[in-house]
Amino acid sequence: MCLKIKNGAVFISDAHESDTRDSFYHFLLKLKSKDLDPPQLFLMGDMFDLLVGEVRYLREEYKNYVDLIEEIAKEKEVFYFEGNHDFALKNLFKNTKIIDISMQPVLFDISDKKALLSHGDKYGGAIHTVYTKMIRNRALLRVLDGIDRFCGFCISKKIEENLQKKDICQKIDNFQKIMEDKIDKNIEQNVDIIAEGHYHQNRSFLHKRLKYINFSSFACNQSYFIVQLSPEIEFIETKLRGYDV
C-alpha cells in the first residue's frame, strides 16, 4: 500500500499532556467540532507525558483523550507514531493507525517527493536500543502494572511527578550538526524529506539536498503544522487559537 500525505494534513508533536497541561485536549476538540478539519491527522509521538497501554492507571487517566481521538479517526485518517512517552497503544485504539517504534521511520509519498516520518526516538546506540525494547516488553509492563496497582499506583504517580519537573523547551546546542550525523549514519533510503518530533527544536534545514524538519513541541508553544503542497511543499506552523494557555 502506498502511503500518501495529503494537502491540508495536520502534524502535531510532543504535546506532553498531563494534569498540568490540557492544550492538546482543546486541540482535539477543535478537530471534533470541525473548527479544524484536515483530511489527515499525524500525531508524531509524546502526545502525553506518560501513556502506556498496559498500565491501568494511565489508561483510565487519559481515556477521554483516547475516546476523542477514536471519534476523530472515524471521520478522517489518523496516524499515531508512538514515542518514548507513549507506547504499547495498539490495544487502546481501533480506528487510529498506530505506528510503533519498530516500524519507524515510515516512508510516505508527498506530492512528487518521498518523506520519512518518525517520532525521532529511534537511533540511540546499543544501550538505548536495549532499553527501548525492555520498556516496551508486554510481560514486563504487566508485572509493573500489577505492582503499581498493589501500591496504589505509586509508580505511575512518581514517574508523572518527576516528568513534570523537566524543562522540555530547552534549545539543543549544535542541533543541526547532531542531526546531520544521525542522517548520514542511519538513513540509507533515497528520500527528499525527513520529518520528526522528539527534540522540540522547531528547526528545518537542508542537508545534501534533503530537507530535514524537526517539529516544535506543542507543549511549549501550542504550534501545529499544516501541509501545503502547492506551489511548493511546506509545513506551515500554525498556533492554537481561541484558547488561553
Question: How, if at all, do strands 86-87 and 51-52 pair?
Answer: parallel
State the pLDDT at residue 189. Answer: 81
The pLDDT tens digits of the residues spanning 53-81 come to 999 999 999 999 999 999 999 999 999 99
State the pLDDT at residue 134. Answer: 74
CB 196 within 8 A of CB 186: no
Chain center to CA of 171: 19
CATH of domain 10-175+199-239: 3.60.21
At 24, list the grid cell. 492538546
Residues of the chain short of pLDDT 70, as ranges, are 1, 125-128, 131, 242-245
Query: For residue 245, how many other CB atoms are within 10 A of its CB?
Result: 11
Domain spans, the chain: 10-175+199-239
Q: What are phi and psi of 183, to 5 degrees?
A: -65, -50
Question: How, if at all, do strands 77-81 and 51-52 pair?
Answer: unpaired
State the pLDDT at residue 242. Answer: 67
Listed residue (160, 59, 172) closest to 120, CA to CA: 172
State the pLDDT at residue 94. Answer: 97
3-state DSSP call for residue 7?
Answer: coil
> What is the pTM assigned to this prediction?
0.94
Residue with cell 525494547: 133
State the pLDDT at residue 140. Answer: 83
State the pLDDT at residue 245. Answer: 45
State the pLDDT at residue 128. Answer: 67
Amino acid of residue 111: S
Question: How, if at all, do strands 210-214 and 193-196 pair?
Answer: parallel
Q: Let me know the angle formed at the C-alpha of 82 by 183 and 232, rounded to the nearest 5 degrees.
A: 55
State the pLDDT at residue 188. Answer: 81
Q: What are phi and psi of 21, to 5 degrees?
A: -135, 130
Residue with cell 500518501: 4
State the pLDDT at residue 80. Answer: 98
